[in-house]
A and B are shown apart, each in its own frame.
Chain A
């Protein structure tokens, strides 16, 4: 296949116009020792039909192609994507546009980002949000950078069960010695304000906690924020935007920054990318924000318009003095998030969050009837439930597949100490029937005889 439209005659005319007799005449500066003259060692070209067959066959090998109810979460969620969303989001006008560097011909992209910023600020209870970052992990890393820049302090303290992959990224970006992770209370899965306060001193730039945390537990956010403030550290909340429809937003509880993963707002999981990091905070920090920010202005005729603003923070102006090396945002995914919030709206988002909450609680109630399965932690939970199994969770989820069910996430893959913990997340997509079948599959997968419960149907 080729996407080049060129005849032999046109090529000859162009070479003649340029004044060379052959194409090689244009490569005068390329040293021969770098050249290759043999064909690249990749397979021969495939037509669309062949490509569809080849990649279709690969896609069909993934469980996502099969009709397996999924109870997987751990930061990425299988929510319903309304039909109108892809129809609008995948329009060429959005999909094939570049970064809005010429705002006169990019008002569509720019206004969408402004609306995204507005709704993220509303959900998080913050003053401002940026145009998005690569993913939730990069948002956490950038929050730490901002805190270091703001406070002049180097260290970062992570309160317990923040997403392990975000902790991994923090260690990669900041250095392992810089990041201290506090162990959670084994009973509750949360970190107390006293424990956090004890770990903070004048070398710590920020305390990062997750709300709800990796296992769905609710940290004592007001107390953690107060503990951070008492030691001059920024309070950074990592949050889930769907859960924030039910929960008091971090901005109202004392957090300085609120970051997280926005995939659950209408974007497909896509093996974890492209997804979309959001980044919100109090307005006093906005000049230290990473990435793009869109602001409202007027054109020469007084009409409202939108532009990228505060660009002097960014790498293409400030180079090595930039607040971050980030150049792109996740425009297309932020667009999906924006359309999603528009389509479900105020009441719809609440219903999605509440249905997910109720169904996850129902799943836990069903699991409690399976011998040997019990909640891993005491205390309230949202978004995720952590179940302690009598066998390894890795073994259970593999067995679950043979029963046609994606049972949940093996927490042991993230922390060997949690090898017997299964993380379960049911969204509004899961029906009561599927949850009942899930409980049966769970029982079978851990080698128990499923009970046929009365009253469940």
Chain B
């Protein structure tokens, strides 16, 4: 995959005056997935300056999509059944579009997305691993997808059995005693975990604790979730990217309710002193929370339940459920036996005769955090994933994720700064600061990667690394893909030195070029009505 043609000069890009219809510059060759298509409009009839019309722009009076049956019951006039003020004066101004036009619209829009089934997605902390198709299909079985939660328990036996069993599988994998499947996402799991910890302290009359210690490398949701419970956040400054036990010791006290730790940390490193830290935290009467966003490094190797009190899992990360363009996820919470009575309810329970029910009589529960039972469709997929991998397959997830990350780190550490040079877990963090002298920032590297059919890594996170580039390959990428990606990364580092404009002007081949985020925030066009 050696490049054969030279990339466009920056002038050809800049020459694209606003509003002109000229095609973007010819793309450089892609090294990974072949060339993404140039951004020629899919339909030649698309107006200038528009990649895809809005549904409202495709609308024409009288066009119809799906038709509905005629009313087969005696109809009553709305005016006889509703107060006059409540009857909508005119129909909501929704689009009027035929079915084929609707299908083409969304199909064309879909083509503007990078996605996992098309190419590599080395997003650190996001675990963009393969999403098995059988799992989607099973989640959409009518018996699952059409289940209504108000069906009597007798009519939900299959769903209840799946929930009950999944709780036990997740407990076995994490080494905890009990699991709540209700939180709809990782952040909701964090919040739930904090609520459970608060209820635990309160149950013991220990009501003065109002502070949670959070390392400076933590995900932003950690401090935000602590605040949502009404507690204070104290940030722990890390030393060489790790928890500093002296800092921890100084911060602990009778006011500390919990310490939230990410393991491995967002730098991709396991905290070697975590067991010692746990001892200090427990001695101070606080609870130890694990942000399980990085559990993909630990499956089958480490059981957090051995020393942690509570953790959340991101099923859309470690357990392969699709991200869906930004949700739905699922954020189950696993806890030790001492916290189990406080988990949200209702929960699936098994009756003595082997049938199942939703248990609603949970007097110490913190209450419900979701409108129903959590993201059941996501839970079905995670159940299927665990069943299809089994014990060996689950352990292989972590071993190969860790090997992939170390291999990539090894290939890239010469061309990019590696702030913490030691074996990593499932991800690692590079710094783009070495490219600054060429006028190239990390964001430029990220945009340039898009030209090669690769999604950008997570950038500018964690905050404690300057110009951070956080790379997580996951276990489902092959050696070939890793090598191609490394080749591209090395090539971009080289471009930065030889012709930085190629990098700073990127992306060249995407459906749109860099977008003006400042303009979006200033003008705030948030609907087509004011567009």
- Whole-angstrom distance from the CB of A254 to the nearest CB of chain B? 11
**Residues in chain B near residue A86, CB distance under 8 A:** 140
A177 in the interface (beta carbon within 8 A)? no
Contact B371 A104 (CB under 8 A): no
**Residues in chain A near residue B35, CB distance under 8 A:** none
- Whole-angstrom distance from the CB of A22 to the nearest CB of chain B? 11
B275 in the interface (beta carbon within 8 A)? yes
A417 in the interface (beta carbon within 8 A)? no
Taking CB atoms and an 8 Å cut-off, the chain B residues in 119-163 that contact chain A are: 121, 123, 126, 128-132, 134, 136, 138-152, 154-159, 161-162
Q: A118-B528, A123-B94 are in contact. List 11 more A-B contacts (CB 8 A).
A: A18-B403, A18-B406, A18-B407, A27-B270, A64-B142, A88-B106, A89-B106, A272-B149, A324-B228, A331-B323, A332-B322
Which segment, of B217-225, B244-252, B281-289, faces chain A? B217-225
Q: Closest 9 interchain pairs by CB?
A: A272-B372, A45-B390, A59-B143, A332-B324, A65-B143, A302-B18, A63-B155, A274-B328, A61-B158
Annotate A274-303 by CB proximity to B: 1 below 8 A, 0 otherwise: 110000000100100000111111111111
Using known A-B contacts A44-B391, A168-B367, determine if residue A30 contacts B88 with beta carbons closer than 8 Å: no
A256 in the interface (beta carbon within 8 A)? no
A327 in the interface (beta carbon within 8 A)? yes
**Residues in chain A near residue B411, CB distance under 8 A:** 17
B239 in the interface (beta carbon within 8 A)? no
Contact B393 A1 (CB under 8 A): yes
**Residues in chain B near residue A307, CB distance under 8 A:** 515, 517, 520
- Whole-angstrom distance from the CB of B248 to the nearest CB of chain A? 16
- Whole-angstrom distance from the CB of A400 to the nearest CB of chain B? 9
Contact A221 B106 (CB under 8 A): no
A-B contact pairs, 28 of them (CB 8 A): A5-B478, A6-B478, A11-B403, A30-B302, A33-B275, A39-B300, A41-B391, A63-B155, A84-B103, A97-B323, A98-B126, A103-B512, A122-B527, A169-B368, A172-B369, A248-B85, A274-B377, A295-B525, A299-B515, A301-B20, A303-B512, A307-B515, A315-B187, A324-B228, A325-B190, A344-B94, A349-B92, A406-B148
Taking CB atoms and an 8 Å cut-off, the chain B residues in 426-482 that contact chain A are: 446-447, 450, 455-456, 461, 475-476, 478-479
Using known A-B contacts A10-B479, A93-B111, determine if residue A45 contacts B511 with beta carbons closer than 8 Å: no
How far is it, in angstroms, between the C-alpha of A174 and the C-alpha of B225 when the chains are bound?
Answer: 13
Contact A1 B389 (CB under 8 A): yes
Contact B525 A94 (CB under 8 A): no
How far is it, in angstroms, between the C-alpha of A141 and the C-alpha of B446 when the chains are bound?
Answer: 36
Which segment, of A50-58, A201-209, A369-377, faces chain B? A50-58
Residue of B nearest to A33 (CB): B275
Contact A327 B186 (CB under 8 A): yes
Which segment, of B1-9, B52-60, B333-341, B493-501, faces chain A? B52-60
What size tier do the contact residues of chain A reach? 35 or more
**Residues in chain B near residue A409, CB distance under 8 A:** 150
Residue of A nearest to B371 (CB): A137
Q: State which of A19, A168, A273 has its C-beta within 8 Å of the C-beta of B375.
A: A273
Taking CB atoms and an 8 Å cut-off, the chain B residues in 305-338 that contact chain A are: 306-307, 320, 322-329
**Residues in chain B near residue A188, CB distance under 8 A:** none
Taking CB atoms and an 8 Å cut-off, the chain A residues in 388-433 that contact chain B are: 394, 397-398, 401, 406, 409-410, 413, 428, 431-432
Contact A271 B326 (CB under 8 A): no
B105 in the interface (beta carbon within 8 A)? yes
How far is it, in angstroms, between the C-alpha of A127 and the C-alpha of B323 when the chains are bound?
Answer: 29
**Residues in chain B near residue A453, CB distance under 8 A:** none
Contact B270 A299 (CB under 8 A): no
Contact A108 B112 (CB under 8 A): yes
A100 in the interface (beta carbon within 8 A)? yes
Which segment, of A75-83, A192-200, A228-236, faces chain B? A75-83
Q: State which of A29, A354, A380 has its C-beta within 8 Å of the C-beta of B71.
A: A354
B114 in the interface (beta carbon within 8 A)? yes
How far is it, in angstroms, between the C-alpha of A351 and the C-alpha of B132 when the chains are bound?
Answer: 38
Annotate B216-257 by CB proximity to A: 1 below 8 A, 0 otherwise: 000111011111101001000000000000000000000000
A218 in the interface (beta carbon within 8 A)? yes
Contact B56 A118 (CB under 8 A): yes
Taking CB atoms and an 8 Å cut-off, the chain B residues in 386-422 that contact chain A are: 386-397, 399-400, 402-404, 406-407, 410-411, 422
Contact A329 B327 (CB under 8 A): yes
Contact A88 B387 (CB under 8 A): no
Contact A59 B142 (CB under 8 A): yes
Annotate A98-119 by CB proximity to B: 1 below 8 A, 0 otherwise: 1111111111110110110111
Contact B118 A361 (CB under 8 A): no
Contact B325 A122 (CB under 8 A): no
Contact B521 A309 (CB under 8 A): yes
Secondary structure at the B interface, as helix, strand, loop or mixed, is loop
Contact A100 B371 (CB under 8 A): no
Using known A-B contacts A28-B422, A268-B145, A270-B376, determine if residue A95 contacts B152 with beta carbons closer than 8 Å: no
- Whole-angstrom distance from the CB of A212 to the nearest CB of chain B? 9
Contact A17 B410 (CB under 8 A): yes
Q: State which of A82, A246, A301 has its C-beta within 8 Å of the C-beta of B66.
A: A82
B209 in the interface (beta carbon within 8 A)? no
Contact A52 B134 (CB under 8 A): yes
Contact A346 B323 (CB under 8 A): no
Contact B399 A23 (CB under 8 A): yes
**Residues in chain B near residue A309, CB distance under 8 A:** 517, 520-521, 524, 526
How far is it, in angstroms, between the C-alpha of A3 and the C-alpha of B116 when the chains are bound?
Answer: 14
How far is it, in angstroms, between the C-alpha of A48 and the C-alpha of B115 when the chains are bound?
Answer: 24
B261 in the interface (beta carbon within 8 A)? no
Contact A327 B187 (CB under 8 A): yes
**Residues in chain A near residue B524, CB distance under 8 A:** 283, 286, 295, 309-310
A224 in the interface (beta carbon within 8 A)? no
Annotate B154-175 by CB proximity to A: 1 below 8 A, 0 otherwise: 1111110110000001001101
- Whole-angstrom distance from the CB of B128 to the nearest CB of chain A? 6
Which of A105, A117, A246 neighbours the largest number of chain B CB atoms within 10 Å of its CB? A105
Q: State which of B67, B329, B344, B527 has its C-beta within 8 Å of the C-beta of A117.
A: B527
Which of A31, A98, A221, A245 neighbours the largest number of chain B CB atoms within 10 Å of its CB? A98
**Residues in chain B near residue A58, CB distance under 8 A:** 143-144, 158-159, 161-162
**Residues in chain B near residue A382, CB distance under 8 A:** 82
Contact B89 A248 (CB under 8 A): yes
Using known A-B contacts A92-B118, A222-B85, A326-B187, determine if residue A56 contacts B390 with beta carbons closer than 8 Å: no
**Residues in chain A near residue B328, CB distance under 8 A:** 134, 273-274, 328, 330-333
How far is it, in angstroms, between the C-alpha of A408 and the C-alpha of B326 when the chains are bound?
Answer: 34
How far is it, in angstroms, between the C-alpha of A106 and the C-alpha of B121 when the chains are bound?
Answer: 13
A317 in the interface (beta carbon within 8 A)? yes
**Residues in chain A near residue B81, CB distance under 8 A:** 357, 361, 380
- Whole-angstrom distance from the CB of B70 to the nearest CB of chain A? 9
- Whole-angstrom distance from the CB of B206 to the nearest CB of chain A? 18
Taking CB atoms and an 8 Å cut-off, the chain B residues in 63-111 that contact chain A are: 63-69, 71-76, 78, 81-83, 85-89, 91-97, 99, 102-103, 105-107, 109-111
**Residues in chain B near residue A320, CB distance under 8 A:** 223-224, 226-227, 233
**Residues in chain A near residue B20, CB distance under 8 A:** 301-302
Contact A325 B224 (CB under 8 A): yes
**Residues in chain B near residue A361, CB distance under 8 A:** 73, 76, 81
B49 in the interface (beta carbon within 8 A)? yes
Taking CB atoms and an 8 Å cut-off, the chain B residues in 276-310 that contact chain A are: 299-304, 306-307
- Whole-angstrom distance from the CB of B41 to the nearest CB of chain A? 10
Contact A342 B303 (CB under 8 A): no
A269 in the interface (beta carbon within 8 A)? yes
How far is it, in angstroms, between the C-alpha of A244 and the C-alpha of B513 when the chains are bound?
Answer: 38
Contact B377 A273 (CB under 8 A): yes
Contact B303 A135 (CB under 8 A): no
B28 in the interface (beta carbon within 8 A)? no
A210 in the interface (beta carbon within 8 A)? no
**Residues in chain A near residue B19, CB distance under 8 A:** 302
B38 in the interface (beta carbon within 8 A)? no
Contact B510 A39 (CB under 8 A): no
Contact B370 A273 (CB under 8 A): yes
Contact A253 B109 (CB under 8 A): no
Contact A40 B394 (CB under 8 A): yes
